[in-house]
Amino acid sequence: MTRILYVGTLNPGGTCRQRMVTLRTLGHEVMGIDTVPGKVHERRSTFAWRVRNRLIGAIDESRANERLLRVPQSFEPGVVWFDKPLTIEPKTVQTLQARWPAAIFLAYSGDDMFNPRNQSWQWRESLPLYHLHVSTKTFNIPELLAAGARDAFFVGKGFAPEIHHPHVVTPELARAFGGDVGFVGWPEKAREQSMRYLAANGVPVRVWGPWPRWKSAPNLRVEGRPLWDHDYAKALSSFRINLGFLRRVNRDQMTTRSVEVPACGGFLLAERTDEHMEMFRDGVEAVFFDNDRDLLDKVRYYLAHEDERAAIARAGLLRCLSSGYANEHRLTQILDDALAKRTGTLQTAAA
**So what's the pLDDT on residue 207?**
98
Asked whether 262 and 317 are in contact (CB, 8 A), the reply is yes
CATH topology of domain 3-158+326-350: Rossmann fold (3.40.50)
**So what's the pLDDT on residue 38?**
57
Query: How many percent of the chain have pLDDT more than 70?
Result: 91
Q: pLDDT of 285-300, one tens digit each?
A: 999 999 999 999 999 9
User: CA 230, CA 237: separation in Å to the nearest integer?
Assistant: 10
**So what's the pLDDT on residue 229?**
93
Q: Which residues, including other chains, have CB under 8 Å from residue 183's CB and lie 6 or more apart?
A: 191, 195, 205, 206, 207, 208, 209, 242, 243, 245
Q: pLDDT of 116-163, one tens digit each?
A: 989 999 999 999 999 999 999 999 999 999 999 999 999 999 999 999
User: What count of other Cβ atoms lies within 10 Å of the Cβ of residue 333?
Assistant: 17
What is the b/e burial string over 229-241, where b = at least 16 CB atoms within 10 angstroms of the residue's CB? Answer: beebbbbbbbbbb
Q: Which CATH superfamily is domain 171-322 in?
A: Glycogen Phosphorylase B; (3.40.50.2000)
User: CA 288, CA 242: separation in Å to the nearest integer?
Assistant: 11
268 beta partners: 242
What's the mean pLDDT in 212-223?
Answer: 96
Q: At 11, phi and psi to the nearest 5?
A: -65, 140
User: CA 108, CA 156: separation in Å to the nearest integer?
Assistant: 12
Q: Do domains 3-158+326-350 and 171-322 have the same CATH topology?
A: yes
Q: 331 in helix, strand or coil?
A: helix
Q: pLDDT of 86-101, one tens digit each?
A: 999 999 999 999 999 9
User: CA 15, CA 346: separation in Å to the nearest integer?
Assistant: 32
**So what's the pLDDT on residue 305?**
98
What's the mean pLDDT in 159-178?
Answer: 96
What's the mean pLDDT in 203-220?
Answer: 96
Q: Where in the chain are the domains? A: 3-158+326-350, 171-322
Strand order in the sheet with 205-208: 220-222, 205-208, 179-184, 239-244, 268-271, 287-289
What's the mean pLDDT in 269-273?
Answer: 98
Q: pLDDT of 174-209, one tens digit each?
A: 999 999 999 999 999 999 999 999 999 999 999 999
DSSP 241: E
334 beta partners: none
User: CA 94, CA 105: separation in Å to the nearest integer?
Assistant: 10
128 beta partners: none
Q: Which residues, including other chains, have CB under 8 Å from residue 342's CB and lie 6 or more apart?
A: 104, 131
**So what's the pLDDT on residue 342?**
64
